[in-house]
Amino acid sequence: MRAYDIIIKKRDNIELTKEEITFLVNGYTSGEIKDEQMAAFLMAVMFNDLTKDEIYNLTMAMAHSGEMLDLSGILGKKIDKHSTGGVGDKLTLLVAPIVAACGVPVAKMSGAGLGHTGGTIDKLNALPGYKTEIPFEQFIDLINENGLSIIGQTGEVAPADKKIYALRDTTATVDNIGLIAASVMSKKLASGADSFVLDVKTGEGAFMKKVEDAKKLAKTMIEIAHQNGKKAKALITAMNQPLGFAIGNSLEVKEVLEILERKKEVRDIEEISLELAANMLLLAEKGDIEHCRNLAKEALENKAAYEKFILMIKAQGGSLEMGEAKQKTELASEQEGYITAINAEKIGIAAMMLGAGRKTKEDKIDYTAGIMLSKKVGDYVKKGETILTMHMNNVDIKESTKLAKEAFTIGKEKPEEITLIY
């Protein structure tokens, strides 16, 4: 069997066998198949797509390319949550402690961000001393003791996906439904949870720009879960403007703490977080969906979720003493009217250029850098009024400022309220 022949088959839109896909994945993971051959295969997929069987076989080959984690040492049902990525997406930091406060263990392995979308692990790394890399046995013990632990993905879990994703990111082969589904679900299946709740983003700041494509991706991932005897539910949620007001790692953690401590209310974050948490509780068989919604809301309102979050941070060596950027620049509105749109992708890229994100996996993040919005879609703004503040340390802000300005659309008519959950 040769990679060359497999590439030709995919180029000519002939369905690949399980054996061919497994050969390709294992060969690339071991280094026997080179970047240029895998890149050619990925581009052929972009033009011809993958069949249902090909998606499933690719998922399983990547899942079994490394260690399949055993979470049987954790008491109770293990429900995992995954987001397809967005700007200001700090939802895991709210959802996980809410669910844990309701008595359902949350064993979460999260990744770092790349490009304009942020990663949960980067946000937690903004907490001085927080250990995102701990021995697996300690991870299990912490969950049994506290009901919650969030750590970084280990190199042993789905290493094929890690290597293939890095190549996809540099070869413009990221936004394919089959490849995204296989990437997400290979990690989920290898991580050992019983069930999954999937947050599939759609809109300007998401991989899936159209609701129809987001639904197709969600259904594909649910089918993969079912084929493995796992339960799964998906929510299609909006990424047409940044989630919340904070974009950037320490800024987002501070916003989460304010929400959990009930010092601040942020409609979009809370509404989506509570619905995700309710669906996780539903899969954990805590009652019907209305009862689960009430449980989640109560855990947020009575600060039980806040206490869980603080417990997790302390248990993993973290401190709340996050630093601040040395420089802040306010951006004022150049006209008066209603904010009718905020392009999430442009805001995300602007924050990345300030140091809040990575252009490549090797880039170092400035945890204090980012953007704080002062206004959201539907708000009225006067000429000269601040619409956002940029936080940075010794970087050129000319390009970021230009992008941030372009992100805002202002009109005379108040827009309709944004749909958060489709």
Classify the C-alpha dihedral 207-122-34-31 as positive or negative: negative
**pLDDT over 70 (residue 7):** yes
Over residues 202-216, the mean pLDDT reads: 89
How many whole angstroms separate alpha carbon 33 and alpha carbon 39?
10
Percent residues over pLDDT 70 in the chain:
97
**Average pLDDT for residues 277-306, to the nearest whole number?**
97
Within 64-133, residue ranges assigned H as helices are 92-101, 120-125
How many H-runs (helices) and E-runs (strands) does the chain carry?
Answer: 16, 12
The H or E element containing residue 309 is helix 304-315
Domains for the chain: give ranges and CATH numbers.
3-48 (1.20.970.10), 79-315 (3.40.1030.10), 327-411 (3.90.1170.30)
pLDDT at position 204 is: 81
301: number of Cβ within 10 Å: 10
Residues in the chain: 422
The mean-pLDDT minimum among 112-116, 171-175, 280-284 falls in 112-116
Given this model, what pLDDT does residue 175 score? 84
pLDDT per residue over 252-275, tens digit each? 999 999 999 999 999 999 999 999
- Which pLDDT score is estimated for 115? 56
**Count of other CB atoms within 10 angstroms of residue 58:** 29
Residue 140 has pLDDT above 70, yes or no: yes
- Return the percent helix, strand and coil in the chain, to nearest 5: 45, 15, 40
pLDDT digits (tens, 9 = 90+) for 311-324: 999 999 999 999 99
What's the CA gap between 53 and 67, in Å, rounded? 23
Average pLDDT, the chain: 93
Residue 117 confidence class, pLDDT cut points 50, 70, 90: low
226 is catalytic: no
Q: Residue 174 has what pLDDT?
A: 85
Contacts of residue 291, defined as CB under 8 A and 6 or more positions apart, other chains included, come to none
CA-CA-CA-CA torsion sign (82, 71, 230, 45) = positive
Catalytic option among 161, 213, 268, 366: 161
Query: Exactly one of 81, 123, 162, 168 is catalytic; which is it?
Result: 168
Average pLDDT on 145-157 reads 86
Distance CA 225, CA 106 (A): 18
161 is catalytic: yes
Residue of 163, 187, 230, 233 with catalytic role: 187
DSSP per-residue letters across 374-395: S--TT-EE-TT-EEEEEEESS-
Q: What is the pLDDT of residue 154?
A: 72
DSSP 159-215: HHHHHHHHHHHHTT----HHHHHHHHHHHHHHTT-SEEEEEEEESTTSSB-SHHHHH
Among candidates 375, 357, 374, 379, which has minimal Cα distance to 366? Answer: 357
So what's the pLDDT on residue 208? 86
pTM flag (> 0.75): yes
- Is 168 among the catalytic positions? yes
Q: What pLDDT digit, counting tens, does each position of 31-55 carry?
A: 999 999 999 999 999 999 999 999 9
Q: Which amino acid is at 400?
A: S
Is 183 catalytic? The answer is yes
CB atoms within 10 A of CB 373: 24
Catalytic residue among 110, 183, 186, 191: 183
At 207 the pLDDT is 80
- Return the pLDDT at 397: 94
- Among candidate residues 82, 188, 201, 254, the one labeled active-site is 82
Q: What is the pLDDT of residue 229?
A: 92
State the pLDDT confidence band at 114, using cuts at 50, 70 and 90: low
What pLDDT was estimated at residue 116?
A: 56
Residue 166 banded pLDDT, cuts 50, 70, 90: confident
Pairing of β 337-342 and β 79-83: unpaired
Take residue 321 and report the two structure tokens written for it: 């003493």
Buried b or exposed e, range 223-244, using 16+ CB within 10 angstroms: bbbeeeebbbbbbbbbbbbbbb
pLDDT for 11 beyond 90: yes
